[in-house]
Every structure is written in structure tokens, then in C-alpha cells.
Amino acid sequence: MKIFNASQIRELDSYTIEHMPIKSIDLMEKASKAFVNKYIEIYPVNRDVCVMAGTGNNGGDGLAVARLLHEKGFRVAVCVIRSSAKSSADFDTNFNRLIKLIKVKEVSDAKDFPQLNEEAIVVDALFGSGLSRPVEGLQAEVIKKINAENRGVIAIDIASGLMSDGPSQGDAIMNVQHTISFQVPKLAFFMAENEPFVGQWQVVDIGLMAEKIEDTATHYQMQRPYMLKSFLPMRSKHSHKGNFGNVLMVMGSKGKMGAALLSAKACLKSGCGLLTVHVPSCGYDIMQAGLPEAMTLVDSNEDQVTDVPDLEKFDTFGIGPGLGTSDYTLDGYAKFLNQVKEAPLVIDADGLNMLAKSTELLALLPKNSILTPHPKEFSRIAGETNNSFERIELQRTFAQQHHVIVVLKGAYTTIATPQGDVYFNSSGNPGMATAGSGDVLTGIITSLLAQIKDAEKAAMLGVYIHGLAGDLAVDQLGEQSVIASDIIDQLSAAFQQLKSTN
């Protein structure tokens, strides 16, 4: 699913109006009907509705929504905020249609703002996705008053005051429970700091021309199951373990062998043919007893990894979980990167922290290596940013400059490619915010990389499967009780579910 900026969305609207052809007022009616249908899905019980409308096209949407809800038997109050005599033509058309049916309250001074029904759901239709500056004057005062009510809001297309393509300044509607977005999601929906202004978002099809959507280029997309299904490794009847990769994972240190065990188990459960784990000597018994399906190489050091094993027979590598960052381990890490050359490589956890410690090692990374940092790890490597928009741009730039895939973990984990494209993941939940979850992801991605030999596809598929397994675990256990091994336990079900996706 593509994610377009405000300018591209305007172009899509204009193209649809010109080429379908369809009048803009009729396109607004289609959008409003789509919103109302989704509204009734979310709030099937008839409750009072208060529509807060501006005088632009988003306000026109709001007036059409008010009329359609009224026609379906909802008790609807409408408040139009008029800061000037200007209004859009489509707003005027819907205003004239609505006042024949219900009374409309018009506010031109904040002191005239009405007392809202305590039980009413507020529908926000003050500003749309085209907003490009902070809200001021009367509209800002009204937004403050709505926010002070501390009630649930459902936003038409995007919450008023929220910038769709960059960090917002000034006042914006808060306490948003749902946002119903027209045709495509907005980039703002994916940013952590915007959660109070977005709530749960859903997209409704308003009939913008599919051919124009297909032809419009964007760096941002949300990955969907039907796309990822085609990435799944296939197995023929005559397959053997040698067909699915020979993986070496370098992990673990004293007190952190759990990370290595979790990552290794996730790797095997994701389908790789052969797995060898290189661990410090203290981890030998742990690995042999905890995961007999994996082969184990032990380091000469008892407590930490310092050696580089013979890499010749392996075709895929993962490094980092539980490794530690001592000077001895860092020396071994540098030797490893010098020897691994062009082989596919997944780097996580302390493998990333050592890159931050010695940034000259970045030049040794094989092209299309997959880095899987959380935000703090990424900032150590790439630098600090002021907000999520800046961080994603830095993620894109870093991936392009170093010719790597950067998997930045979060509520919507992002996968940035060397071509500058960014894919937002659509699976996962807050229950996965638990120790070891990232180690499981490393194992999954490494395993898939060994099987499909395409770093971008392995990263995209691995992130989705990881999140889907987490969703299945939460369905059984609830968000508070999921631990990393529960995610591993659901991997088989996650793969099966994706395979059955239409």
C-alpha cells in the first residue's frame, strides 16, 4: 500500500475528477459515504454525534457526513467554525443541502463555542491533509476547547492541526480514537509522537483512479501480506537441508547466552537447512542442551567471543545477540568483518553497538547487509534526530550511503533499502516489547536470508512474520504475558497463515 504526500493526494484527486470524469462534489459524496460506512462499523450503537467542521473541503466532507448520518437516523449536531467569509465551493454546496434538514450552529468567536453533549462522539472535520502551517486564531482556540473536553474523537482523513508529511507545530486535535483516511494512509500516522492525534487508523477506498495510484512514485509503502506471500521459500519434493542455507551465527557471552539461544532457535524454526553457532566456551553446554538441532563451535575464550572461526563452508551469517562489546570481542569482530567479504550478513544488538564504537568498521560491511537496530542503537551509529520524520530520513540516507538494509524496530518497524525506499510493517503489537524479541527477529531474518538469497525480501518477510507470530501469541496470552520464546512458538502458525493469505 503506497503512502503519498499531500501534494500527490491533491494530484490524484484532480486526475480522477478530470479523467473518470466525476465532479468534485460527487467525489466528496463518495468519500463521505465511505467514511459513514466505516463509522457505523466502529460505532454500531446509535449515539449522539457532533460534527465540528471548517469551511474548506474537509469541512465539506464533515457536512456531507452529518447529512448521511442524519438520514440513517443518528442524532447529529453540527458546528461550523467560520474565521472568515471564505469557504470552498463544495463546502457551500453541502452546507446548503444540510441546512434544509438540520440546524447548523455557526461560530465566529470562541466565546460562542457550544457546550458539547457529554455522550456525543466528536467528528473532526476542521482541517484536512493539505494543512501546511500551524493552526492559528479562532481554529486554534476551538481545538483547545475540544481537547479540554477530553472526549473521544473520530477524525475525517486526518486530525485537524496534524501535518501529514512532517512534524506538527501548534495545536492539533488530541484524544483521537479513530482516524478514517481516504484512499491511502498518511506518513504522519506511523510516527510515535503522533499517537494521541491518530488513534487506530483505517483506510477507505473513495474511488481515486487505480492507474494513477499505480503510476505515482513514492519512497514510502506499507507492506501487505499478499505481497509478502510471494517471498516465501518454496520446497520441492526432492529438497534436502543443503538447499536451505548453511548459517553461522556468532553470539553470546557470559550471562547473555539466553539471547544466543533465542536467536538460534528462531533461525531453525524459520526453515534454514543447517545452523552452526559460535559461542564462548561457557555457552557450549547451554547450546548443546538447549538446542540439539544446532551445531556448536566454541571460542578459545571462556566468557566472550574473541576468535573468528573458519568461514569457508558457510553461506549466510548473523552476528550480535548477547555478544558484548569488550575490546577483545571488538578485535575479533573487526577480523570477522574483514573475512566475511561479500557474504550475506545480519547484524543486531552488540554487533551494532560495536559499529557505533568503531565507526570505521562500517566501511567493511558487505553490500546488502541487514542491520536491525532499535532507535537508540540507530542513533549511536547514525546520529541523533529531533523527531521520527527526521529519523526516517536519516535511516533512508544511511541505507543509501552504506548500501545496506536498515530495519529500524518500532511499532511500525521500517525497512529502508539502498535504493532509498522505506517499507512500514503492518504486523505486531505492544506485547512484543519484551526482552529477547529482537534476538528472535535476528534469527528469523538470518534464516530467511539463507533460504531466499535476497536481503531486501528476507528483511521485509522476516519483520512481518515476526510481528504476525507476536500477534498470534498475544491472541493466546494477552499483551502482558508474552515473552520472546512465545513468539518462537507461534512461528509455524505464522508461516502457515501467510501461506493461506489470498
Phi, psi of 107 (to 5 degrees): -120, 120
Report which of 403, 392, 407 is spatially closest to residue 320, judged by C-alpha positions: 407
Question: What's the confidence (pLDDT) of residue 176?
Answer: 96
Instruction: Return d(Cα 252, Cα 259) in angstroms, integer.
Output: 7
Q: Which residue has the cell 476551538?
A: 142
Instruction: Return d(Cα 391, Cα 193) in angstroms, integer.
Output: 12
Question: What's the confidence (pLDDT) of residue 116?
Answer: 84
Domain ranges of the chain: 6-218, 244-499
The model's pTM is 0.95
182 CB-near residues (< 8 Å, 6+ apart): 31, 34, 35, 157, 203, 204, 206
Instruction: Return d(Cα 276, Cα 39) in angstroms, integer.
Output: 53
| Strand order, beta sheet including 104-107 | 104-107, 76-81, 49-53, 121-125, 153-156, 176-182, 200-204
Question: What's the confidence (pLDDT) of residue 2?
Answer: 96
Residue 238 has, within 13 A of its CA and on its CB side, a CA count of 0
Residues in the chain with pLDDT < 50?
Answer: none
Q: Which residue has the cell 482541517?
A: 127
Instruction: Return d(Cα 57, Cα 162) in angstroms, integer.
Output: 16
CB atoms within 10 A of CB 368: 19
Question: What's the confidence (pLDDT) of residue 44?
Answer: 87
Question: What's the confidence (pLDDT) of residue 45?
Answer: 83
Cα 107 to Cα 135, 138, 155, distances in angstroms: 16, 9, 20
CB atoms within 10 A of CB 289: 9
CB atoms within 10 A of CB 170: 14
Q: What is the residue type of 7? A: S
Q: Which residues pair with 309 in a beta bridge?
A: none
Shared fold status for 6-218 and 244-499: no
The length of the chain in residues reads 502
- CATH 3.40.50.10260 assigned to 6-218: yes
Task: Name the CATH topology of 244-499.
Answer: UDP-N-acetylmuramoyl-L-alanine:D-glutamate ligase (3.40.1190)
Question: What's the confidence (pLDDT) of residue 342?
Answer: 87
* pLDDT tens, residue by residue, 161-178: 999 999 998 999 999 999
